[in-house]
């Protein structure tokens, strides 16, 4: 599946088919249409390279006052646009330097694939890195999306004033005490990152660092268990595949050294 606006529309359509949306929503908009500026640099383990933001209030002006509060497809589309604008200048640290927005869309789609239809959880998944990795404030999210979504995003947000090692340990400690919705988003986030670490992220990470990331992710997910079996099973499968992929790479490197004409 291509992680573009069509993917978000499919999430929204699934929500409306279950009675959670509002028929007759406005036509889709271009989520990459506005200008972007500066933001703080994200954590290296979050894997974008640089950041972009808009002035406050410049994102949701396409909505008239009678279209608020947002719900169903309008909410998901607004969250997608907001996240795309906030992350516009950011890139993942994969070989292709893919747009960062691909990641939150993939997290939301992973939740939908597991049968999650709660629109607040899906919208929060789209927005889950905005406070941590851009200049978005909690108050801004609450103004546009309400207190429930703001609270979920805050649960997903690390305190970047702390050392990275401390932040990672706090994720492990906090996971068992997070709300069910935040634990689901955390599971989906770790699923996507584990897949990326095995497949393509990032080219300058040595195998030992990638294995360390897999081990740490498993520790975080241990505290998220009991909230959504399908997500937990997906993480377990992808973790096994990631470990097998790294083991295969190690065997391939060893074989290339042992072969005649291989590296000395």
Given the residues 85, 132, 135, 238, the one annotated as active site: 132
5-17 and 102-113 are packed helices; what angle lies between their axes, rounded to 10 degrees? 30
Those residues with Cβ within 8 angstroms of residue 101's Cβ, 6 or more apart along the chain or in another chain: 3, 31, 83, 84, 87, 88, 90
Identify the bridge partners of residue 92 per DSSP, sorted by sequence position. Answer: 48
Catalytic residue among 45, 85, 129, 133: 133
**Catalytic residue check, 120:** no
- What is the distance of C-alpha 225 from the center of its chain? 19
For CA atoms 59, 65, 69, 74, the dihedral sign is negative
145-152: list long-range contacts, CB under 8 Å, 24+ apart: 145/70, 145/75, 145/78, 145/79, 145/82, 146/69, 146/70, 146/120, 148/120, 149/79, 149/120, 149/123, 149/124, 151/179, 152/120, 152/121, 152/124, 152/128, 152/179, 152/181, 152/182, 152/185
Structure tokens at 132: 């941590």
Whether residue 78 contacts residue 144, with contact meaning beta carbons closer than 8 Å, is answered with yes
Catalytic residue flag (residue 132): yes
Annotated active-site positions, please? Answer: 132-133
């Amino acid at each position: 599946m291509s992680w573009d606006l069509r993917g978000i529309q499919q999430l929204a359509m699934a929500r409306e088919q279950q009675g959670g949306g509002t028929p007759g929503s406005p036509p889709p908009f271009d989520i990459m249409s506005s200008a972007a500026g500066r933001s703080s640099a994200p954590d290296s383990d979050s894997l974008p390279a640089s950041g972009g933001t808009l002035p406050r209030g410049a994102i949701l002006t396409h909505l008239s006052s009678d279209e608020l509060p947002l719900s169903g497809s309008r909410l998901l589309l607004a969250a997608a646009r907001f996240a795309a604008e906030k992350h516009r200048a950011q890139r993942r640290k994969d070989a292709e330097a893919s747009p960062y927005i691909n990641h939150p869309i993939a997290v939301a789609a992973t939740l939908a694939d597991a049968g999650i239809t709660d629109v607040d959880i899906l919208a929060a998944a789209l927005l889950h890195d905005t406070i941590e990795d851009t200049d978005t404030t909690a108050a801004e999210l609450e103004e546009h999306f309400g207190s429930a979504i703001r609270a979920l995003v805050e649960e997903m947000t690390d305190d970047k004033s702390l050392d990275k090692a401390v932040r990672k340990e706090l994720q492990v400690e906090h996971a068992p005490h997070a709300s069910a919705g935040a634990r689901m988003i955390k599971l989906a986030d770790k699923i996507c990152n584990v897949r990326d670490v095995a497949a393509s992220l990032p080219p300058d990470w040595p195998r030992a660092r990638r294995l360390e990331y897999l081990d740490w992710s498993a520790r975080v997910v241990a505290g998220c268990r009991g909230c959504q079996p399908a997500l937990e099973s997906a993480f377990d499968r992808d973790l096994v595949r990631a470990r097998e992929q790294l083991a295969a790479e190690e065997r391939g490197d060893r074989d290339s050294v042992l072969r005649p004409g291989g590296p000395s």
